[in-house]
Amino acid sequence: MTKIALVTGGNKGIGFETVRQLAAQNIKVLLGARNEQEGKKAEEILQDDSLDVEFIKLDISDSQDIENTKAYIERAYGKLDILVNNAAVFLDGEWFGNNVESVPMKTLRDTFDINYFGTVELTQALLPLIKKSDAGRIVNISSLSGSFGAHLDKNHWLYQLKPFAYSASKTALNQFTVFLANALKETNVKVNAASPGWVKTSIGSDEAPLTPEEGAKTGVALALLDDNGPAGTFSQAGENITW
């Protein structure tokens, strides 16, 4: 039976490449995007490459979109094998420095609405469908910026980069990963967090050393884990990262 995957924020960057790489594995991939025009354009590009990709309108900060997505997947496919929580925003303004003393509350709330609350709400809504899979996989696309270890290490390249809203939202996402993996440890569902690395995207900037194709590989590998694969981990390119 064909595997069904959903990738949020799948219209560009790491999300788009995640959709492409999963579809290349003969997986039916639902490309979630809040912008219908951009989502359909991405769908068309990938379908032109003979990939089984279907756009689905999904703004993860919109509870109605989440309910509509759940209802559609349940009606059309009856299960969900892979959920890649990729959709995210960066609203701090810049990466360099530490803005914890001045970041506006609106920036914090708007960041958490997408990067944390929307992701948690969507995952909770889709869990009954994921549990119907023979090998459910949930991948939370996190960031090295969410690592306490990196931010406490004065010798780490990330030490000087402390955008508070984005980093805090990814730290919270990591906690969600750990707790959800624990809650599902007796099931066939594996939950892991991926750090794509510093990638050329609207968030990572053109100065980043990695391409979106390279950045997508960690999340795709976690989405395709076999039964012996890990759960409750935070990794990049197969190497575990300090929480």
The CATH number of residue 190's host domain is: 3.40.50.720
CA distances 51 to 24, 43, 110, Å, are 7, 9, 34
**Coil, helix or strand at residue 154:** coil
Instruction: Mention every residue, 6+ apart, whose C-beta is less than 8 A from residue 166.
Output: 90, 91, 92, 111, 115, 143, 145
Q: Which residues are known catalytic residues?
A: 166
- What integer best gives the mean pLDDT of the chain? 95
pLDDT at 80 over 70: yes
For residue 201, the model assigns a pLDDT of 67
**pLDDT level of residue 209 (50, 70, 90 thresholds):** low
Higher pLDDT, 211 or 217: 217
User: pTM of the predicted model, to two decimals?
Assistant: 0.95
**Coil, helix or strand at residue 139:** strand
Amino acid identity, position 44 = E
For residue 211, the model assigns a pLDDT of 81
For residue 200, the model assigns a pLDDT of 64
Structural tokens at position 171:
């730290």
**pLDDT level of residue 1 (50, 70, 90 thresholds):** confident
Q: How many other C-beta atoms can be found within 10 angstroms of the C-beta atom of residue 41?
A: 15
For residue 188, the model assigns a pLDDT of 96
Host domain of residue 51: 4-240
Summarised one tens digit per residue, pLDDT across range 27-48 is 999 999 999 999 999 999 999 9
Instruction: Mention every residue, 6+ apart, whose C-beta is less than 8 A from residue 236.
Output: 144, 194, 195, 196, 197, 218
Q: In angstroms, how far is CA 19 from the centroid of its own chain?
A: 11
Provide mean pLDDT across the span 158-186: 97
Q: How many domains does the chain have?
A: 1
Summarised one tens digit per residue, pLDDT across range 106-116 is 999 999 999 99
